[in-house]
Amino acid sequence: MQIIPSIDLRRGKVVKLVGGVPDSEVFQSSSPVSLLEHWESQGARRIHVVDLDSAFGEPSSENWDALEVLLSSATAKIQVGGGIRNSEAVVKYLDMGADAVIVSTIIFKDRGIFEQLTASFPDKVAASIDYERDRVKVSGWREEGSSVPEKVAAECDALPLHSIIITDISREGRLKGVDSPRIRAVRKTVRHPLSVAGGISSADDIASLMECGVDGAILGRMLYDKRASLSELIKEFAKTGSRYEWS
């Protein structure tokens, strides 16, 4: 199980939103690189970075500057997402040093481009499937799709992906625990590494994810609220529960 801290960027600052709702911050830091260095000092080998402004359709120069600094400074592997919908964006991030890029909306809005990206950049594109109740959400979580997450995951799994990420929006930033039945259903449909975000609040939740066969736990508010030590979680879980070596 890989323990993956998250860094969400809004106008150049690190924020933690509740349910992805703008201006619902429960955490804010003006220094993304300091936070990056902190997570790395705690033993993080992979960090999940999201450009919220681009995800919301409001790209900002502040976030772009922050991303450039993060990607040039990192010793950990960085997977970055938020508003990535074409090959030019993928190339930019990979050239800047990203280990993987995360796409979501184009999975639903332009399947052809999504499949082309995975073919052009094999093992470098992660498919992010965000859902609330039984339906996927797209466009910065503002639009509801018609599919259930496990069906989308199964359709994506045939492609040469880096990984699949699922996020329960109803739990995101709320520390409400994990949706084990849904996670198990998704796990049964995919062969790629599977990471989960949303609702993780304790070591017990991470243990539940392991029991579901999850390979990565993406942590946000749990760490920002200091409910657990990243270094201790890594010691406890990093060497167990995954079929994949994500160096």
pLDDT in tens, 101-119: 999 989 988 999 999 999 9
For the chain, give the number of residues.
247
Which residue shows structure tokens 């955490």?
A: 27
Cα distances from 1 to residues 36, 122, 206, in angstroms, run 20, 23, 9
Which residue in the block uniquely carries the two structure tokens 């010793």?
Answer: 75
Helix (H, G, I), strand (E, B) or coil at 100: strand
Which residue among the candidates 8, 99, 168, 179 is catalytic per the annotation?
8
- Helix, strand, or coil here: 75? coil
Domain ranges in the chain? 2-237
pLDDT of residue 145: 61
Q: For residue 172, name the pLDDT band (cuts at 50, 70, 90).
A: confident
Give yes or no for residue 244 having a pLDDT over 60: no
Question: What kind and span of H or E run contains 118?
Answer: helix 111-120
- 66: Cβ–Cβ under 8 A, 6 or more apart, which residues? 9, 12, 32, 33
pTM confidence score: 0.93
Say which of 51, 53, 130, 205 is annotated catalytic: 130
Domain covering 2-237 in this structure, CATH number: 3.20.20.70
- Strand ranges for the chain from DSSP E: 2-10, 13-16, 27-29, 46-51, 77-81, 100-103, 125-132, 135-138, 143-144, 163-168, 194-197, 216-219
Give me 149's structure tokens: 């997450």
pLDDT of residue 247: 47
* Catalytic annotation present for 8: yes
- Report residue 133's pLDDT band, with 50, 70 and 90 as the boundaries: confident
Arithmetic mean of pLDDT, 125-142: 82
Residue 144 binned pLDDT confidence (cut-offs 50, 70, 90): low
Note the pLDDT tens digit of each residue in 194-233.
999 999 999 999 999 999 999 999 999 999 999 999 999 9
